[in-house]
Amino acid sequence: MSNRTLPRLLQTPAVIMLLIWMLIPLSLTLYFSFIRYVLNNLRRPEWTTPSFSNWRGFGNYEFVLNSKDFLFAIQNSLLIVGSILFLTVILGVLIAVMINKAFPGQGIVRVLLISPFFVMPAVNAVLWVNMILDPVLGLQGLAVAGINDLIGSLQSAPGVGWFFSLWPEVKPISFRATQTSAYAVIIMVTWQWTPFAVLIFMTSLQSEDQQQKEAAVLDGAGTFSQFRFLTLPHLGRPIAIVVMIQAIFHLSLYAEIEIVSRGNGNKNLPYLIGEFANNNIGAASATGIFAVILANIVAIFLLRMIGKTLME
């Protein structure tokens, strides 16, 4: 007999490890989400150790749902993730179609384009928020100052000076401020993940049926019609995959938000969990369960799609 028991058993270490990795912390989160559990409370010291006697039922969930930060974090998560998805897909498709056909230096352009993807998130955030977007010292600040200087010198010019003195002074945008920090995160993550979208769309474009395109040309389809009726449908599936994979990654954005504004005016769910976890573990855990549910909604669709191609 071809004894395949041993070879089959070889997958068990990985399975057991991942099972432990998933189950133990997650059940603890579930447990903590149903009890009163805080790290510091002088009046009720019994709440500082996890125990079933501190059972709170859905109290933590109610507390989280009623906190204004939660709604804000959800909204903000959706704003950030949605904007990034929109921008990366549009840019990704355009760039992929543009560089898909051979031109001088195509290889170098590819390398230039893909590079941002490998920059570690912490450096990405530090680089953008300081060196580029800083309203005074970053490139933005320098550019704004330069424009203002130019206008200033034009204002004192003879003859046309009166015209330029009607111009307002240009104001730089502070991306660390409450209202704008989310935009900084959107910009830097879009910069980092557009290359990913480009790479996947390019891979997919290479498998596009060239004979089908030739047939379309003979049928009188122009460049735009080819793109609209052949290329775009061909990219449908990769687009769906890019959207879902990114959604899963970006729902748990953390380092960028921490670095840009320390969550000031710009919390998402992971950040909110981190904040709760400084003291109120019960609330942090309940928020965690919400995050799991949110991620699962996306994950189910993604897994289905992958599952279809898996055993082909």
Partner 1 sequence: MGRIVLENVTKSFGDAQVIPPLDLTIEDGEFAVFVGPSGCGKSTLLRLIAGLEETTSGRIVIDDNDATQVPPSKRGLAMVFQSYALYPHMSVRKNIAFPLRMAKMDQAAIDTKVEAAAKILNLADYLEQKPGQLSGGQRQRVAIGRAIVREPAAFLFDEPLSNLDAALRVGMRLEISELHNRLNTTMIYVTHDQVEAMTMADKIVVLRAGNIEQVGSPLDLYHTPRNIFVAGFIGSPKMNIIDGPEAEKQGATSIGFRPEHTDVSTTEGMWKGRVGVAEHLGSDTFIHVHDTGLADMITVRITGDIAVTHGDDIYLTPQMDKLHKFDADGLRMA
Partner 2 sequence: MAIVATTTKFSVYGRPVLAWIVGLLFFFPIFWLVLTSFKTDADAVKPEFLLFFTPTLDNYLNMTENYDYWRFATNSIITSVFATIFALAVGIPSAYAMAFNPSRATKDVLMWMLSTKMLPAAAVLYPMTFITKSIGLFDTHFMVIVVLMLINLPIVIWMLFTYFKEIPKDIIEAGQMDGVNTWGEVKEILIPLAWGGIASTALLCFIFCWNEAYWTVRLTTTEAATLSKLIEGNRAPEGLFFGRLSAVSAAAVGPIVVLGWFCQKQLVQGLTFGAVK
Region from 61-69, 78-86, 156-164, 191-199 binding partner 2, contact rule CB under 8 A: 191-199
Which residues, including other chains, have CB under 8 Å from residue 109's CB and lie 6 or more apart?
A: 99
User: Shortest Cβ distance from residue 158 to partner 2 (Å)?
Assistant: 26
Interaction mask 268-307, partner 1, x per CB under 8 A = ----------------------------------------
Binding positions for partner 1, 164-183, rule CB under 8 A: none
**C-beta of 166: minimal distance to partner 2 in Å?**
26
DSSP annotation string for 96-116: HHHHSS--TTHHHHHHHHHGG
CA distance 81 to 86: 9
Q: What does DSSP assign to residue 55?
A: B
Rule CB under 8 A: say whether 190 interacts with partner 2: no
Q: Is 166 in the site for partner 2 (CB under 8 A)?
A: no
Minimum distance between the CB of residue 6 and partner 1, rounded to whole angstroms?
11
Q: Does the CA dihedral 164-165-167-172 come out positive or negative?
A: positive
Question: Using CB under 8 A, which residues numbered 35 to 94 contact partner 2?
Answer: none
Count of other CB atoms within 10 angstroms of residue 53: 8
For the segment 3-62, give every residue that binds partner 1 (CB under 8 A). Answer: 3
Place of tokens 């004894």: 3
Q: Can you say how many angstroms the Cα of residue 292 is from the centroid of all Cα atoms in its chain? A: 16
- Only segment of 40-48, 81-89, 132-140, 161-169 that touches partner 2 (CB under 8 A): 132-140
Which token pair is 156? 């004192």
Binder of partner 2 out of 65, 150, 160, 292 (CB under 8 A): 292
**Cα–Cα distance measured from residue 198 to residue 191, given in angstroms and rounded to the nearest whole number:** 11
Which one of partner 1, partner 2, none is in contact with 1 (Cβ closer than 5 to 8 A by kind)?
A: partner 1
Residues making up the chain, counted from first to last: 312
Binds partner 1 (CB under 8 A): choice among 1, 10, 108, 218: 1
139 belongs to the binding site for partner 2 (CB under 8 A): yes
Closest distance to partner 1 from the beta carbon of 8 (Å): 13
* CA–CA gap between residue 118 and residue 125 (Å, rounded): 13
Long-range contacts of 227-235 (CB under 8 A, 24+ apart): 227/97, 231/97, 231/205, 232/93, 234/204, 234/205, 234/208, 234/209, 235/93, 235/201, 235/204, 235/205
Q: Which of 134, 231, 243, 267 is close enough to bind partner 2 by CB under 8 A?
A: 134
- Give the total of residues touching partner 1 (CB under 8 A): 3
Distance CA 246, CA 117 (A): 13
Of 5 and 11, the one with the shorter C-beta distance to partner 1 is: 5
Q: Applying CB under 8 A, which part among 40-48, 55-63, 158-166, 233-241 lies near partner 2?
A: 233-241
Residues 239-258 touching partner 2, rule: CB under 8 A, are 241, 245, 248, 251-252, 254-255, 258
The site partner of 41 among partner 1, partner 2, none (C-beta below 5 to 8 Å per kind) is: none
- Position 275 contacts partner 2 (CB under 8 A): no
Q: What is the smallest separation between the CB atom of 126 and partner 1, expressed in angstroms?
A: 45
Cβ–Cβ under 8 Å, residues 260 and 185: yes
Residue where the block lists tokens 């009046």:
43
Residues contributing to the site for partner 1 (CB under 8 A): 1-3
